[in-house]
Amino acid sequence: MRKHFLPSAWALLSLLTFSELAAAKQAAKPPVEEIEVPDVIVTAGEQSEGISYQAIVRGIEAFSRYKRLAPGATPKFVVQPRQPNASLKGLNLIVATASRDIDVPLDKNGVFAAPQNEVGENSEARIILNRPDEAYAIKPFVRTPGLPPNIRRLGDFRAQCEMRWAMERDNESVPLSARLLAGALGSACHNSMIKIIFREPRPIVEIWLMSGQRREALPQERIRADRVSFIPPLEDDSWPNDTLIELKFVATDTVSNSK
C-alpha cells in the first residue's frame, strides 16, 4: 500500500502546486486599460494655429493600410461639438496652406472628405474653424454605405480605430502606460488589454451583434453610464469584420421628457 500511496500523494501535491501557480499567474495579469483615444481639438480664428493637416494625412494612410477592414468605405472625418452650446450651424472649415485657403464643405452632420489633391504634399497646412477655441473636435469617420441609420459594421469601427490611433498615438494626453502597452502590442485596436470607446449622439438602450445565425447582446458593462458611449469587441476575432451592430436608441420623446 505504501509504495502505491507515495506516488499518488506526490502527484496530488504536484497538481495542487500547479493549480496554485496557475491561479497566481491569473491574479498577476495586468489590469485592463480602459482608455479613450483623445480628441483632435481644433482651434479657431485668423490668429489661430489650428491643427496640422498631417494628422489627417496619418489617418488616411492608416486607412490605406487597413482597408481590408472596411473595403466598401471611404475614409472621411467628422467635426463634433465638444461643448453643449456648440453648433454645426454656420460652421466653416478651411485648410490653410502657405499659398491659399481651401474651403472644405461639411454635410449636415459635420462629415467631410479631406481635400488631398488640393493640399498635395504641403506639410505646413493647417485646419482652422471659424468658431471659439477647443469647442470642436475632429475624428475619423468610416461608414460602409447602404446600412440603415441604426446599424454599424464592426470592421468600420476597427478601421476607424486604426485611423484615430495613427492620428493621436503620440499625443501626451494618452496615458503613458497605454502608449507603452499599445507600442509593445503593435496597436491599441486589437487587444483585450486596451478598450477603445466609441460615442453616438443619442442615448443607447442596448446593442446587438449579428453575424450569420449568431446574434448576441453586447454586455451591459460595455455600455458606459452616460449611455452614449460603448466599447465594441474590436479585439474579438470570433466576430468577423462583416458583423453588424444594431443600436437600439432611447425613444426621442423619452429623452425630451427626461430633460
**Domain residue spans in the chain?**
33-258
Distance, in Å, from the CA atom of 174 to the CA atom of 23, rounded to the nearest integer, reads 32
- 104 strand-pairing partners: 93
Going by pLDDT thresholds of 50, 70 and 90, the confidence category of residue 257 is: low
Say yes or no to pLDDT of 232 above 80: yes
- pLDDT tens, position by position, 40-66: 555 544 444 467 899 899 999 999 999
Q: Identity (one letter) of the amino acid at 14? A: S
**C-alpha cell of residue 23:** 491561479
Check: CB of residue 122 under 8 Å from CB of residue 216.
no
Distance, in Å, from the CA atom of 43 to the CA atom of 47, rounded to the nearest integer, reads 10
pLDDT (0 to 100) of residue 77? 95
Check: CB of residue 128 under 8 Å from CB of residue 42.
yes
**C-alpha cell of residue 143:** 461608414
Q: Element (H or E) spanning 52, and its range? A: strand 51-52
Residue 44 or 149, more confident: 149
- Over range 119-125, report the average pLDDT: 77
The phi-psi region of residue 199 (left if phi > 0; otherwise alpha if psi is between -120 and 50; otherwise beta) is: beta
**C-alpha cell of residue 132:** 471659439
Length of the chain: 259
